[in-house]
Structure 1
Amino acid sequence: MARKTYKNILIVKMSSLGDIIHALPSLYALRKSFPEARITWAVHPAFAKILPELPWIDEIFLVDRKKIKDLKYLLSVRKELHSRKFDLVIDLQMIAKSAIIAAFSGCSTRIGYNDAREGSFLVSKPISGPHKHGHIIEQLLDVMRYLGCNCDEIEFPIRDCSKQEETVKAKLAQHGVNGDYVVIVPGTRGEEKKWPIEYWGELAKEFSALGIYTVISGTKNEKDLSEKITGYYTSSYIVDFVGETDLLELAALEKMASLHISSDTGPLHIANAMHTPIIALFGPTKADRSGPYGNDNSVILTAGDGKMSSIAVSTVYDKAKEILKL
């Protein structure tokens, strides 16, 4: 049977950073299979900058997270979406808020991936494929396989950040960074996923002894973590870069890094998409479901008992030296 052709497609994946990165291989497969289609992506403004523009996405449709319970706002969203006359909606989030956007699109053909929660299955048809219990990237790609897409390649079409590379280089130079560097991200959502802060301090100290720059990255509200690390051991080789990048600058920072080390967090998945060498620290979350994927330069260290503190500094340090060829 011939594959059905769609001309006007809406993807709904509004948050979070790591989840959006996980959905990019699906965008790649969709665009390769439907090169003439108009593709719109509904996303929260905080994550819009990471999404690619043409030729991958024709329009980025912003949905204000803070207003999503405001009926007047939702009616205006409904009007805007209806005017675009979509013939296919793909809900890659499958929760209540994404179901609302899918329903308000006015499109009768609505599908989504198998993990339907919060009643989203009442709006969009969940698609189960051979990877139902596999990695989230493959689960999302199963939706594309249902549409007849070729999903042999795992590619992450992030927006070009070459201009931001120059900006980041200048910012790093202001901090005295004039060579190769390792990015560490001590923060993550969920205390149980955090590697102990004193471990980060010890690791940065070890890198300093080798003359390797450690660039601490994160959001402004994680400044207390970077201050604890820099307070643990003072060195010109330990640089507090927390709060100094926007989303595309973060992508540039990760792209140019010699190594990224963190637990399960958004920047980890950006580094993975950039094929930067990675050491990923996993404990309570399952790396085989949400860990680095499609990157031959990634190493996953798993806490045997689920407690992050069981991953020794020496283990991470030795693996880092191996990757950096030291």
Structure 2
Amino acid sequence: MAEKILIIKMSSLGDIIHAMPSLYMLRKHKPDAHITWAIHPAFAGILPGKPWVDEVYLVDRKRIKQLSYLKQVRRDLKSRHFDLVIDLQMIAKSALISMLSGCSHRIGYWDAREGSWLVNKPISGPHKHGHIIEQLLDVMRFLGCPETGIEFPFRDLTEPTQTLEKKLHDAGLHDPFVALVPGTRGENKKWPIAMWGELAARLAERGIHSVISGAPSEKSMEKEILKRADSPYVIPMMGKTSLLELAALEKAASVHVSSDTGPLHIANAMKTPIVALFGPTMPQRSGPYGNPYSTVLMAENPGHEDTDMSTISVDQVLEEVVKKWEQKNKPLA
């Protein structure tokens, strides 16, 4: 009978992308295992299907504190008779799902928070203080998985690429473009919106199209950028793509620009050229990884809650974007 494995990584987008190489390594080592992934519905669309994941188990974030719902989750998970639970999140809610599974063999990565170590055995490896991707891979190495390199399994993007192209064409875009993603969780990680507007305007002056991407809740940022960069070269696309269309967008972009946010990690997985803006968070742990076409620009006095992102100048970002643009497209006149 096939080994039954439950992976728990319910959020957020970037964190789920960081776990993809672990899924790849695990599947290569256990091709016959039945792998279930527990995730919040908002992020389920980004998970690869078979052969990587056999089943997606949706955990309702809004109901996770309801006793009747937790009883349902326990029934659901216990009925699957898991042989192994791998908690790649290691916080209270993921530990709760792990416990409700009824499985006796429960492990997780070393950074156990919110009491998760009481439920799952934290696994510490040689990359304990390295990049988060390697920290998660250390759990797979503990299981005996051989090295596979950094690989990100994704769904086939043929259909979402076609629907994305139609949306871009309908918006008047038929040329290469730079993906601008101004939003991120955490106000202190955001590059000032006025600087985003100036960047878009200066790219437009050079005849470079930019596509503004992000969640529907961030559309006020898009409006502020368009106020400062009123040009047909600036294409508003916030809230207009599905998760897989976002992946197709990042794959199609000539250059991606953002701070530490989920779409950055999708672009990294696609090996799209990246200009990443970091300040409070450190790229050694959560920056682009395994992508030779990425550049990280650091704010002054990085690694602190009060790091000032405005110390990364528009000139710095523009220089790097144009450099990467010209490596992929015709040099600008």
TM-score above 0.5: yes
Assess if the C-alpha contact under 8 Å between 1:51 and 1:159 holds in 2.
yes
**Residue identity matched to 2:160:** Q
Question: 1:100 is matched with which residue?
Answer: 96
Q: State the Cα deviation string for residues 274-313 of structure 1 (Å, max 9, x = none).
A: 1111110000101100011111111111112231100010
How far is 1:321 from its partner?
1.1
- What secondary structure is seen at the aligned counterpart in 2 of 1:324? helix
- Given candidates 179, 187, 194, the residue that maps to 2:190 is 194
Assess if the C-alpha contact under 8 Å between 1:183 and 1:259 holds in 2.
yes
- What secondary structure is seen at the aligned counterpart in 1 of 2:108? strand
Question: 2:272 is matched with which residue?
Answer: 276
Assess if the C-alpha contact under 8 Å between 1:127 and 1:143 holds in 2.
yes
- Given candidates 155, 169, 172, the residue that maps to 2:165 is 169
**What is the CA–CA distance in structure 2 between the aligned matches of 1:19 and 1:119, rounded to whole Å?**
20
**What is the CA–CA distance in structure 2 between the aligned matches of 1:301 and 1:95, rounded to whole Å?**
30
1:313 partnered with 2:314: yes
- Tell which deviates more after alignment, 301-310 or 211-220: 301-310
Q: State the Cα deviation string for residues 231-290 of structure 1 (Å, max 9, x = none).
A: 112110011111101111111111111110000001111111111111100001011000
**What is the CA–CA distance in structure 2 between the aligned matches of 1:160 and 1:269, rounded to whole Å?**
18
Question: How many residues get paired?
Answer: 322
**Residue identity matched to 1:318:** E
Within 5 Å, which residues of 2 pair with 1:81-230? 81-230=77-226
**What is the CA–CA distance in structure 2 between the aligned matches of 1:181 and 1:29, rounded to whole Å?**
33
How far is 1:64 from its partner?
0.4
Question: 1:253 is matched with which residue?
Answer: 249
Question: 1:322 is matched with which residue?
Answer: 323
How far is 1:6 from its partner?
7.3
**Residue identity matched to 1:273:** A
Assess if the C-alpha contact under 8 Å between 1:6 and 1:88 holds in 2.
no
Q: Percent identity?
A: 62
Runs of 4 or more consecutive aligned structure 1 residues displaced over 6 Å after TM superposition: none
The CA RMSD measured in Å over matched residues stands at 1.0
How far is 1:158 from its partner?
1.8
**What is the CA–CA distance in structure 2 between the aligned matches of 1:218 and 1:161, rounded to whole Å?**
19
**Please, which runs of 5 or more residues in structure 2 have no aligned partner?**
302-306
**What is the CA–CA distance in structure 2 between the aligned matches of 1:128 and 1:233, rounded to whole Å?**
48
**What is the CA–CA distance in structure 2 between the aligned matches of 1:113 and 1:29, rounded to whole Å?**
15
How far is 1:152 from its partner?
3.8
**What is the CA–CA distance in structure 2 between the aligned matches of 1:163 and 1:6, rounded to whole Å?**
32
**What is the CA–CA distance in structure 2 between the aligned matches of 1:160 and 1:267, rounded to whole Å?**
18
**What is the CA–CA distance in structure 1 between the aligned matches of 2:202 and 2:214, rounded to whole Å?**
21
Tell me the TM-score normalized by structure 1. Answer: 0.97
**What is the CA–CA distance in structure 1 between the aligned matches of 2:242 and 2:314, rounded to whole Å?**
29
**What is the CA–CA distance in structure 1 between the aligned matches of 2:245 and 2:229, rounded to whole Å?**
27
**What is the CA–CA distance in structure 2 between the aligned matches of 1:217 and 1:150, rounded to whole Å?**
37
**Please, which runs of 5 or more residues in structure 1 have no aligned partner?**
none
